[in-house]
Structure 1
Amino acid sequence: MTDLTAALTEAVAKAFVSAGLPAEHGRVTRSDRPDLADFQCNGALAAAKGAGKPPREIAAAVAQGLAGSPLLASVEIAGPGFINLKLADAALAERAGRIAADPRLGAEAAPEPRRVIVDYGGPNVAKPMHVGHLRASIIGESVKRIYRFRGDTVLGDAHFGDWGFQMGLLIVAAADADPNWREVAEQDLSPEAAAPLLKGLDLETLDRLYPAAAAQAKADTAFRDRARKATSELQGGKAGYLTLWRHMHDVSMAALQREFHALGVDFDLWKGESDVDHLIAGMVEDLKAKGLTEVDQGALIVRVAREGDKHELPPLLVVSSEGSAMYGTTDLATILDRKQSFDPHLALYCVDQRQADHFEIAFRAAYLAGYAAEGALEHIGFGTMNGPDGKPFKTREGGVLKLHDLITMTKDKARERLHEAGLGAELPQDEFEDIAHKVAVAALKFADLQNFRGTSYVFDLDRFSSFEGKTGPYLLYQAVRIKSVLRKAEETGAAAGNAIAIGEAAERELALLLDAFNGAVREAYDRKAPNLVAEHAYKLAQAFSKFYAACPILSAEPAVRGSRLALAGVVLRQLELALELLGIEPAERM
């Protein structure tokens, strides 16, 4: 389904050709001055150089070529030769009608669908999720949904950290902390025999053990060496360590799945670093056979630096001097695993921007080894979620805020906001709680997704949970308002019309925004930038609010009422589709 930008570009390009000029100058964009025009073309300025004519003369010839076009109400020349285009009401109405009849609501699919992996989430097993995992989860989920909507075959992979040095740290720390846990680590016990000994080793205990162990490893060389050895022995298959690791893994996964579910985030692959362990030995031999490895201070490395690098990149550390696989090793093995099982055209890594060098090193090693085509691996980094002090968000005590606590805090605020606004008071308690949860998740997600992912932002719970302004709750409320209008219409027997008519300024604005959805989704896809869909959703909700105030719906005469109900209906469907692409679940009422 061609949008208005494409249709106008085709018409203006033909007018340039009729004037004896290249069609490429006919590119049309949305006007940066919507008070003056709906669309604009600046091609006359560029064409003037080659034609040896004044830009305004060329613009006049193009305008003449557009005379009588059913798409346009007027063509005006401004400044040195800008061509301003105002659409005919009938063309807008026809486009709105086609969007209403389109299951995709005006958004085209990608011309060449691909197989895509989106790697996001990435929490470490045996540690609770914290606010640092929020952006990866929210952005990655939205990118996955946008790519899938555009027609790609997409797999989302959580890629848990469950096989590295942190596991060795926890094994040693647990064995030191409790004789029962030490017995499990040192013995080859059956699951039945190990289970009673592992009581008390829950996520809360692991959360207490890990930071203490990490600090001890920095201060105590002997402890650090024991943890490194434990990591190597775990990866080597030591039975007791595997039993202890499996328990920590399972305890963690239950909590991780709870947090992801609360955020409306789901994965096709719940894999971790451990899932590629069986590939590592063969991969290391393959790297050696290809002449890519060398021994450096007892460790096996792959050099990835290239001539012309802006800064020196260290080599990929494949096997440590203690014999254990490193983070880069499991990342490389994961790339190989994905090639063998899915063979993606593109793999997107939604991970903190501060990990950029790590991924560049791993990607270059993969290209050298032939595990991925050059450019098929892309790190889509993001900034940090900061507190009012501009630093990464912390608790009042200065610690890292757990994600579960943030969700709880935001849901409490959502209840408070609903009560303040007098919303949902007459609803059953379970329905009110469901709405409060949806408002909380909308507040969290839209606060993040309204920003370009590469930037950092300040988290302000009071502002982001408001039902006014550029917030997720505002979008939910506007969708509920439209549903209320449509319900009242149904109750009174008023039906939406079969055709949409455009006459009022507020109707024009809505129709133009409905048409802009295709461009917003396409650009969000190309740039891996969900904020463009978020911006569209907000503008559409704002435009409906203006339309609702300026254009009576239920009290209008029947033909106008039918048109406006049809327009409200398509706005609701497109708004909810945009919310779905952002991972935000709408509410039926408030």
Structure 2
Amino acid sequence: MREILKNKIKQIIQDLSQSEESWRVLNSEDFSFEVSLARDEKFGDLASNVAMVLAGRLRQNPLAVAKIIVEKLQEESDPRIAKIETVLPGYINFYFSKKYLAEEIEKIIKAEGNWGKSDILAEKRYIFEHSSPNLFKPFHIGHLVNNSIGESLARIIKKCGADLQTLSFPSDISPGIAKTVWAIKEKGWQKEMTIERIGQAYVSGVAAYKEDEAAKKEIDKINEILYKKEKSEKREIYEQGKKMSLDYFKTITERLGSRFDDLIFESEAESRGKELVKKNTPEIFTESAGAIIFPGSKYGLFDNVFVNSQGFGTYLAKDLGLLELKFERFKFDNSVTITDVEQREHFKLVQKAGSLMNGEWAEKSEFIQHGRLSFSGEKISSRLGNVPLAEDLINKVKEKIFAKMEQQNFSPAEKESIAEKVAIGALKYSILKSGAGKNIVFDFEKATSFEGDTGPYLQYALVRLNSVLKNAKEAQLEIEPDSKDRVGEIPLLEKMILQFPLMVEKSFSDRSPHHLANYLFKLSSEFSSFYAQTKIVDAANPDLKNNLMLTKALQITLENGLELLGLERLERM
């Protein structure tokens, strides 16, 4: 509807510029104006600033310009618009008709799972990289944040019409992995290796490298063996640990609702990146004290090592190699990588160095950052190292949910299923409701509440919607359009629901799902008010059919919205 009104206004301006002397100044000028959602329902459903954009050029009062445009709009009645008004200083406000809103609700129900789908990325091909793990280290809360935002953005991009492939970039070669392999060998755990022991070995290896000179030498040798892919007992321990770590990664990410179309390993990217650096030295890179650096200071960045003095590619070289591998293996219009905010400068270096080799690498590569997760109130201890593990956090939140369900009459299996879905929903929503790049504070009590701005609240709103529709079905009431207009006032819900596709597109354009998360909370809150004030399943209510249609449309909207956020639906809570 926004585009329809915008085009009508453009046509009016074009006609006036040809027929009115004072408007001819607009003939050859390029101007831009908006028809957007009204900031307050008191001022209609849509509003335009066109009069204020044109007033200066026309040398007229904005309100007078607005009245001229409205007069022209009203010459041709539109059944979708109930009222058009002008307000100071010169806005034009549009109010939807009951008939139009009812027709839109019917379209939502017919669209079902396609409701909210956009074509703004139609025929575009995207690859999206997220959740890249450090193998031989457990999936920690930083990975959880990356996965939650990355998975949601990937789903949103797909909803906007793109052909999307997701990939992850596991770190399978690094000094940290050599430390872990050393500790596993020292402890004799190679025959009884577990993911728990791999994590413990990493912590032990890091400490030994700092404190024991003999251990440091052995670890450096193991690192060389792994980089050079030499056959040895240490290599066998490495291969066993890598497989176990990958299986663990797939298990934890599937638990979070993610699956990947492809994996590219750092060991492969390291070889490629190192070749690229050497090939472009000294044209782009510079030798320095036995290492090869990129002189980032020439470009307003900072100098950093891409190949170290031992001849191994650093993380910068690995990410440079990954760029080339992506362009070799995939055909795409845009590659998106989501990383921790602390890595912003790192990727500026990668992107700049890459652009000097191949302009397309920089042009088609986008790096976005997320904030960090901290805790308010209760703390969570870290069993391995100084960063809490994702699995421990999920399980601690599950304990909170179990406690809240203590008096509920669910079977043990049903309690387990509900607690798992609600716990992950609570965590994901707490992460997603914060704006792009902002740090996230997780409060165990607030996040697990079934009231307020939380994931469980959204999940419960959908359960309640399902219950209303189930009651209507049991009462043998059909969900079908009413041939008559709504008798009562238009519920705010009926207008808010139409904003769903806009919130999906805005979440994409800003690369931040918080727009969608906040919208769904407001929608659920408004439904709660509507539910409290309206007996929906009431045969005596003249708006019964309209209310049931609205309830069904809300159910579809919330289902589709939760799917985009990565929150699972529940039958009961």
TM-score w.r.t. the length of structure 2 is 0.90
Q: CA deviation at 1:146?
A: 0.8
Instruction: Look up the SS of the partner of 1:357 in the other structure.
Output: helix
Unaligned runs of 5+ in 1: 182-197
The separation in 2 between residues aligned to 1:456 and 1:551, in whole angstroms, is: 39
Which residue of 33, 51, 61 maps to 1:54? 61
The separation in 1 between residues aligned to 2:437 and 2:488, in whole angstroms, is: 36
Taking the TM superposition and a 5 Å limit, the aligned residue runs for 1:115-154 are 115-154=125-164
Matched, 1:235 2:227: yes
Matched, 1:74 2:66: no
Matched, 1:561 2:554: no
Residue 396 to residue 318, structure 1, CA distance change in 2 (3 Å): closer
Q: CA deviation at 1:507?
A: 4.4
Question: Contact conserved, 1:143 with 1:529, CA < 8 A, in 2?
Answer: yes
Name which of structure 1's ranges 540-549 and 397-406 shifts more when overlaid on structure 2: 397-406
Q: CA deviation at 1:328?
A: 1.4
Residue 281 to residue 41, structure 1, CA distance change in 2 (3 Å): closer
Which residue of 180, 203, 208 maps to 1:211? 203
Which residue of 328, 332, 342 maps to 1:340? 328
The separation in 2 between residues aligned to 1:94 and 1:84, in whole angstroms, is: 21
Matched, 1:314 2:303: yes
Question: Contact conserved, 2:120 with 2:161, CA < 8 A, in 1?
Answer: yes
Question: Contact conserved, 2:118 with 2:159, CA < 8 A, in 1?
Answer: no
Question: Contact conserved, 1:164 with 1:325, CA < 8 A, in 2?
Answer: no
Question: Contact conserved, 2:273 with 2:322, CA < 8 A, in 1?
Answer: no
Q: CA deviation at 1:447?
A: 0.9
Unaligned runs of 5+ in 2: 18-22
Q: CA deviation at 1:319?
A: 2.2
Question: Contact conserved, 2:269 with 2:325, CA < 8 A, in 1?
Answer: yes
Residue 26 to residue 171, structure 1, CA distance change in 2 (3 Å): closer
Name which of structure 1's ranges 554-563 and 575-584 shifts more when overlaid on structure 2: 554-563
Which residue of 382, 407, 420 maps to 2:394? 407
Taking the TM superposition and a 5 Å limit, the aligned residue runs for 1:210-289 are 210-219=202-211, 223-224=215-216, 226-240=218-232, 241-276=234-269, 279-280=272-273, 282-284=275-277, 286-288=279-281
Aligned to 2:8: 11
Residues 303-331 of structure 1, C-alpha deviation per residue, up to 9 Å, x if partnerless? 34444x2xx3223x332111222211221
The separation in 2 between residues aligned to 1:239 and 1:255, in whole angstroms, is: 25
Instruction: Look up the SS of the partner of 1:459 in the other structure.
Output: strand
The separation in 1 between residues aligned to 2:57 and 2:488, in whole angstroms, is: 39
Aligned to 2:178: 168
Residues 313-370 of structure 1, C-alpha deviation per residue, up to 9 Å, x if partnerless? 223x332111222211221111111111103322212111001111111122222222
Question: Contact conserved, 2:171 with 2:265, CA < 8 A, in 1?
Answer: yes
The separation in 1 between residues aligned to 2:270 and 2:485, in whole angstroms, is: 62
The separation in 2 between residues aligned to 1:251 and 1:171, in whole angstroms, is: 13
Q: CA deviation at 1:102?
A: 2.5
Q: CA deviation at 1:438?
A: 1.1
Instruction: Look up the SS of the partner of 2:363 in the other structure.
Output: coil
Residues 467-517 of structure 1, C-alpha deviation per residue, up to 9 Å, x if partnerless? 111111111111111111111111221110135866477744222222111
The separation in 2 between residues aligned to 1:56 and 1:298, in whole angstroms, is: 71
Which residue of 115, 139, 148 maps to 1:105? 115
Aligned to 2:98: 89
Residue 33 to residue 479, structure 1, CA distance change in 2 (3 Å): same
Aligned to 2:517: 534
The separation in 2 between residues aligned to 1:368 and 1:574, in whole angstroms, is: 46
Q: CA deviation at 1:130?
A: 1.6
The separation in 1 between residues aligned to 2:468 and 2:9, in whole angstroms, is: 40
The separation in 2 between residues aligned to 1:349 and 1:127, in whole angstroms, is: 21
Question: Contact conserved, 1:383 with 1:455, CA < 8 A, in 2?
Answer: yes
The separation in 1 between residues aligned to 2:403 and 2:2, in whole angstroms, is: 44
Instruction: Look up the SS of the partner of 1:347 in the other structure.
Output: strand
Instruction: Look up the SS of the partner of 2:336 in the other structure.
Output: strand
Name which of structure 1's ranges 259-268 and 501-510 shifts more when overlaid on structure 2: 501-510
Which residue of 288, 294, 302 maps to 2:294? 302
Residues 392-448 of structure 1, C-alpha deviation per residue, up to 9 Å, x if partnerless? x7528994321111111111111222346x4xx1x3331232112111111111111
Aligned to 1:468: 451
Aligned to 2:339: 351
The separation in 1 between residues aligned to 2:167 and 2:359, in whole angstroms, is: 18
Question: Contact conserved, 1:121 with 1:158, CA < 8 A, in 2?
Answer: yes
Q: CA deviation at 1:526?
A: 1.3
Residue 273 to residue 52, structure 1, CA distance change in 2 (3 Å): same
Q: CA deviation at 1:221?
A: 6.0
Residue 372 to residue 202, structure 1, CA distance change in 2 (3 Å): farther
Q: Percent identical across equivalent pairs?
A: 26
**Aligned partner of 1:411: which letter?**
K
TM-score w.r.t. the length of structure 1 is 0.88
Question: Contact conserved, 2:33 with 2:53, CA < 8 A, in 1?
Answer: no
Name which of structure 1's ranges 576-585 and 450-459 shifts more when overlaid on structure 2: 450-459
The separation in 2 between residues aligned to 1:360 and 1:227, in whole angstroms, is: 31
Residue 358 to residue 506, structure 1, CA distance change in 2 (3 Å): farther
The separation in 2 between residues aligned to 1:170 and 1:160, in whole angstroms, is: 16
The separation in 2 between residues aligned to 1:543 and 1:501, in whole angstroms, is: 25
Question: Contact conserved, 2:168 with 2:264, CA < 8 A, in 1?
Answer: yes
The separation in 1 between residues aligned to 2:255 and 2:150, in whole angstroms, is: 16
**Aligned partner of 1:41: which letter?**
S
